[in-house]
Structure 1
Amino acid sequence: MNVLMVNLPFSGHTNPTLPLTAKLVEAGHKVTYVNAPEFREKIEHTGATFVPYKDYPENASEKYKKNHSFVAAYDTAISLKEKFDILIYEMFFYPGIDLAKQLGIPCVRQFSQPAWNDTTWKEAPTVFKISAKLIDMQVLPKKVAKNKGFSNLCLKDGITKSKPNLNIVYIPKQFQNKSEEFDDSYLYVIPKPAVISGNVVIPYEKMKSPIVYISLGSILSDKSFYKKCIKAFGGKEVSVILNTGNVSPDILGKIPENIYAYSFVPQIEVFSHTDVFLTHCGMNSINEALCFGVPMVAMPFINDQVTNANQLVNLGIAKRIHSFVQNTNEIYATVMEVAASSVMKEKAIEMKKAIDNQMTWESIVRRIEDLV
């Protein structure tokens, strides 16, 4: 089977697709993966053949990515002379179904977040809908989509009104809102978290329980929030591992002994020691925490984060705090409430067990093969 994979140059949409890429190669299939140059190393590590976007800079700015990657991905895939048997694309690249029709081949869609349909869209928070419309304006204006002949002219319609024969959703099925409305063409699996080593050695043996891990992900960084965390937890009977991302811990002032601040942490290793995770609710971070049965404090900001936070609360795995929290007492009190909750811990462990018993990659590869 000769597989074409096409994606956009955003970590949250690319990283979840790499385990399937590796499994397809492992099963003996040839995979050609179209993406931006910055993902070459990760993609080639799976054994796939990497194809960079045509006429696209090596170090594109975030603005350039948003404004040009959709068209670059589509045009590059169309230009390939090789004959492919199947196309696999990620949901954000919603013209994928049109690309497959152009190439005359079946397609598979991957979701890096919970799947969408008309019902989940209608029930989505207003901030989620606004974010989707703002993304539309940036990444693929309707005029461009119309000129390309795409069947859907916006992100919402491209996802809810198009449905390939197979959809792979990278979340636990229990996490899918309105799961009863999604038929058996939707397969749920969480890629096993990969341990990323680094130079940071975290002294877990010195830490007092509970151990709290705080991270706003790879994109968000907020110096004032990190300072609030230091004020909230400093000197208390709790240990905090603070991932400051793009903010250097050196500019946060005096850091108390019970707070361990790093600009990079080996997150998978940290989760094996964590009692409570305070998160911005990106799906990758949620999945990794769920794989270790860690309950959470949800502090979402944009896009799917708000929906993810609501679902965590609905499942009894998290408590939510204000997105732009001002009160340090709220941060501390909510974290300690979750840490003391045996019910939340039990529900998080139940989710971990469900993930451990999820569908196998071999079964998913066979379902893809059946389409060809």
Structure 2
Amino acid sequence: MTPGAPTPARHYALLLFADFGHIAPTLGVARELLARGHRVTYVVDERFGPLVEDCGARAVTYVSARGDFYRAADPSPDRLARDGYDLLVDTVHTVFPAALQALAADPPDVVLYDFETVAAGRVAARVLGAVPVQVCPSHAANETFSLRAQMWDPGHPLMAEGARVLIDFMGEHGIGLDEMGRYGTEWDTRNLVFLPRAFQIEGDGFDDRFAFVGPVFTEPEPGLWSPPDDGRRVALVSLGTESGDRGDFFRLCAEAFSPAEWHVVMTLGRDSDPGLLGSLPTHVEAHPWLPHPAVLPHADVFVCHAGMGSLMESLSYGTPVVALPRAHELALSAQRLEDRGVGRALSRAGLTARRLAATVEDLLADPGGPAALASMREAVRTAGGAARAADLLQTWAARVPATPTRG
């Protein structure tokens, strides 16, 4: 491309896991690409179609067989393996055909996919002649750090079954055994990571294949939520957008914070019913959902499940976190909070209101906390966000020629 010449309009397609936390970080990038004159298509579970269309992108929808993956409170290794296997089969037999049917007549220049849609995303990029880009809503992986190893038991029988599914799928599309290793790695040649390098586990070991662009989220309109005017501290409590009913947990949190000192804001999960919690103390307000950035600038602490979206929002405002991870990589993120001096990890097993209250007070009394939070806030705020991600995607689309298979 000639220096100074206008950037040609491109088509970007996204094949992402059917979870709000995977889709939400990409929406700001999509808006930025659309504002620059590009086209964006999501191949997405039908529940997220309106969310995608609201940002101006095209939504190609299907019905996901995701089930309770990432939702079960404390899944066993067998349950995790079964959910992972079912998800792999779904991406191969449902997501991939939906993508090909929708995109074959108008192939994208770039296909973006994530950790859970690796097979569908990489093979779709090959078949369509597009540039593959892996997006990481959580910690990235490389030759020395494996997220997969933290989540899956390599000796579980379903791992071998999953490998056979992949071999058959790739073979159907002309990918031989000599190439399959490259298609099965946990990272790609180009990776967008939605957290700053400073929060990435073993972040100094990642090279320039990984662009740590930080979180991308929309700050709400002023006045959406206002803090109490009586000087009490504010605690925000959430288990994420899809947590479902965890009534006992939220009632415990209400008890942990003294009404004389604290005002507590709870977000219970989309489509939840605050009435199921029963009568709450007057110092607690409960919402099915409320954008966390509306509360975090006023919050003294955020109690959450350690989802990366929640952590990045909190750290973007310099709010310390008490994390109670459920499973999967969430425990790694909770530990990372402690490693960086910006939060505490707390087990949900045997949790009491007194223990939670003591952990919050210990965190807020940490003399090193303010400096650590300021440093991390700077790292989050200067990572580049949507504009940097769009710049990189334009560059990657321009530098890699289309393959001969491209229509």
Of 246-255 and 17-26, more deviation after overlay is shown by 246-255
Q: Is the 8 A contact 1:8 1:73 kept in 2?
A: no
Matched, 1:326 2:351: yes
Letter in 2 for 1:291: S
Q: CA deviation at 1:273?
A: 0.8
1:318 Cα deviation after fit: 0.6
1:62 positional shift? 5.3
SS at match of 1:84: coil
| TM-score between both structures, scaled by the size of structure 2 | 0.78
Residue number among 87, 97, 109 corresponding to 1:75 in the alignment: 97
> 1:149 is paired with a residue of what secondary structure?
helix
Change (3 A) 1:254 1:206: farther
Other-structure match for 2:255: 231
Q: Any unmatched runs of 5+ in structure 1?
A: none
Correspondence for 2:218: 194
Of 396, 400, 405, which aligns to 1:368?
396
Distance 1:355-1:161 versus aligned 2 partners, 3 A rule? same
Distance 1:201 1:171, change over 3 A: closer
The match for 1:146 is: 167
Task: Pick one of 193, 201, 226 that aligns with 1:177.
Answer: 201
CA gap 1:28/1:265 in 2 versus in 1, 3 angstroms: closer
Deviation for aligned residue 1:60: 8.6
- Among candidates 325, 346, 355, match of residue 380 of structure 2: 355
Change (3 A) 1:337 1:89: same
Match of 1:109 among 127, 131, 134: 134
User: Take 2:328 and 2:363, find their aligned partners in 1: how far apart are those partners?
Assistant: 25
- Aligned residue pairs total 360
Partners of 2:107 and 2:130 within 8 A in 1: no
Which residue among 22, 27, 30 is the counterpart of 2:31? 22
Deviation per CA, 1:3-57, whole angstroms, max 9, x where unpaired? 232223221111111122222222222222222222222222333222223xx48
Deviations 1:51-110 (A, max 9, x none): 223xx48x9965899463553111122332323322222222111223222233321111
- What residue in structure 2 maps to residue 91 of structure 1? 115
Distance 1:363 1:133, change over 3 A: farther
* Cα deviations by residue, 1:244-286 (Å, 9 ceiling, x for unpaired): 3365433434422322233322311111110111110001101
Question: Are the equivalent residues in 1 in contact too, given 2:142–2:187 (CA < 8 A)?
Answer: no
What's the TM-score, normalizing by structure 1?
0.84
Are 2:91 and 2:117, in contact at CA under 8 Å, matched by a contact in 1? no
Does structure 1 conserve the Cα–Cα contact (< 8 Å) formed by 2:315 and 2:373?
yes
Q: Is the 8 A contact 2:241 2:289 kept in 1?
A: no
Gap regions ≥5 residues in structure 2: 1-9, 70-82, 401-407
The structure, 1 or 2, with the larger RCO (C-alpha pairs under 8 Å, 6+ apart) is: 2
Give the Å deviation of 1:202: 4.8
Asked if the contact 1:85–1:105 (Cα under 8 Å) also holds between the matched residues in 2, the reply is: yes
> Does residue 1:205 correspond to 2:228, yes or no?
yes
SS at match of 1:204: coil
